[in-house]
Amino acid sequence: MQETYAAKSGENAIDPSFFNLVSQIAHVAVTYGLTFTAARFWGWPGIEIVGGLCILYAAVHEFFWDPLMENALTRGSDLEDFCFLVLGVAVAAGVYAI
Ligand SMILES: [Ca+2]
Protein backbone atom coordinates (compact mmCIF):
# COMPACT_ATOMS: atom_id res chain seq x y z
CA MET A 1 0.00 0.00 0.00
CA GLN A 2 1.33 3.39 -1.02
CA GLU A 3 1.19 5.82 1.95
CA THR A 4 1.94 9.10 0.20
CA TYR A 5 1.32 10.46 -3.25
CA ALA A 6 0.96 13.82 -4.98
CA ALA A 7 -2.62 15.06 -4.73
CA LYS A 8 -4.49 15.82 -7.91
CA SER A 9 -5.99 19.27 -8.48
CA GLY A 10 -9.20 19.68 -6.48
CA GLU A 11 -8.48 16.70 -4.26
CA ASN A 12 -8.97 17.15 -0.53
CA ALA A 13 -5.39 17.08 0.78
CA ILE A 14 -2.89 19.00 2.91
CA ASP A 15 0.01 20.84 1.31
CA PRO A 16 3.06 19.78 3.39
CA SER A 17 4.71 23.21 3.21
CA PHE A 18 1.48 24.93 4.32
CA PHE A 19 1.08 22.36 7.09
CA ASN A 20 4.63 23.11 8.25
CA LEU A 21 4.00 26.87 8.17
CA VAL A 22 0.90 26.53 10.34
CA SER A 23 2.78 24.17 12.67
CA GLN A 24 5.65 26.61 13.18
CA ILE A 25 3.26 29.51 13.81
CA ALA A 26 1.55 27.34 16.44
CA HIS A 27 4.89 26.36 18.01
CA VAL A 28 5.92 30.01 18.42
CA ALA A 29 2.46 31.09 19.60
CA VAL A 30 2.21 28.43 22.31
CA THR A 31 5.55 29.10 24.01
CA TYR A 32 5.23 32.86 23.46
CA GLY A 33 1.78 32.86 25.07
CA LEU A 34 2.81 30.77 28.06
CA THR A 35 6.06 32.64 28.69
CA PHE A 36 4.67 36.14 28.15
CA THR A 37 1.67 35.41 30.38
CA ALA A 38 4.02 34.19 33.12
CA ALA A 39 6.07 37.35 32.69
CA ARG A 40 3.01 39.54 33.13
CA PHE A 41 2.21 37.84 36.42
CA TRP A 42 5.65 37.11 37.87
CA GLY A 43 8.15 39.20 35.89
CA TRP A 44 11.58 37.79 35.08
CA PRO A 45 11.26 34.85 37.49
CA GLY A 46 8.15 33.88 35.52
CA ILE A 47 10.13 33.95 32.28
CA GLU A 48 12.94 31.94 33.82
CA ILE A 49 10.64 29.26 35.25
CA VAL A 50 7.96 28.99 32.57
CA GLY A 51 10.36 29.72 29.71
CA GLY A 52 12.73 27.11 31.10
CA LEU A 53 9.91 24.58 31.37
CA CYS A 54 8.89 25.37 27.77
CA ILE A 55 12.44 24.71 26.56
CA LEU A 56 12.62 21.50 28.59
CA TYR A 57 9.27 20.42 27.15
CA ALA A 58 10.46 21.29 23.64
CA ALA A 59 13.60 19.20 24.03
CA VAL A 60 11.79 16.16 25.45
CA HIS A 61 8.91 16.41 23.00
CA GLU A 62 10.94 16.98 19.85
CA PHE A 63 13.91 14.70 20.50
CA PHE A 64 12.27 11.88 22.47
CA TRP A 65 8.49 11.80 22.02
CA ASP A 66 8.13 12.73 18.34
CA PRO A 67 10.71 10.27 16.99
CA LEU A 68 8.86 7.48 18.81
CA MET A 69 5.23 8.49 18.47
CA GLU A 70 4.57 11.05 15.72
CA ASN A 71 2.87 10.01 12.50
CA ALA A 72 5.30 9.77 9.59
CA LEU A 73 2.97 11.82 7.38
CA THR A 74 2.91 14.82 9.71
CA ARG A 75 6.44 14.56 11.08
CA GLY A 76 8.74 17.26 9.79
CA SER A 77 12.06 18.34 11.22
CA ASP A 78 12.29 17.93 14.97
CA LEU A 79 15.17 20.41 15.10
CA GLU A 80 13.08 22.99 13.21
CA ASP A 81 10.13 22.41 15.56
CA PHE A 82 12.44 22.75 18.57
CA CYS A 83 13.91 26.01 17.23
CA PHE A 84 10.47 27.55 16.73
CA LEU A 85 9.36 26.49 20.24
CA VAL A 86 12.49 28.15 21.69
CA LEU A 87 11.91 31.19 19.46
CA GLY A 88 8.55 31.75 21.17
CA VAL A 89 10.29 31.91 24.55
CA ALA A 90 12.94 34.26 23.20
CA VAL A 91 10.40 36.60 21.59
CA ALA A 92 8.36 36.69 24.83
CA ALA A 93 11.47 37.66 26.81
CA GLY A 94 12.37 40.27 24.20
CA VAL A 95 8.90 41.79 24.11
CA TYR A 96 8.78 41.84 27.93
CA ALA A 97 12.16 43.57 28.07
CA ILE A 98 11.10 46.50 25.87
CA1 LIG B 1 8.12 17.53 15.81
The residue extents of the domains of the chain are 16-97
30 C-alpha vs ligand 1 centroid, how far in Å? 14
Confidence check: pLDDT of 48 > 60: yes
Amino acid at 39: A
Question: What does the pLDDT look like over 22-44, one tens digit per residue?
Answer: 999 999 999 999 999 999 999 99
pLDDT of residue 1: 54
89 C-alpha vs ligand 1 centroid, how far in Å? 17
98 C-alpha vs ligand 1 centroid, how far in Å? 31
Task: State whether the Cα torsion 69-14-34-96 is positive or negative.
Answer: positive
65 C-alpha vs ligand 1 centroid, how far in Å? 8
50 C-alpha vs ligand 1 centroid, how far in Å? 20
35 C-alpha vs ligand 1 centroid, how far in Å? 20
71 C-alpha vs ligand 1 centroid, how far in Å? 10
pLDDT of residue 62: 93
Confidence check: pLDDT of 4 > 70: no
Q: Quote the percentage of the chain above a pLDDT of 90.
A: 66
What CA–CA distance (Å, rounded) separates 93 from 76? 27
Confidence of residue 80 (pLDDT cuts 50, 70, 90): very high
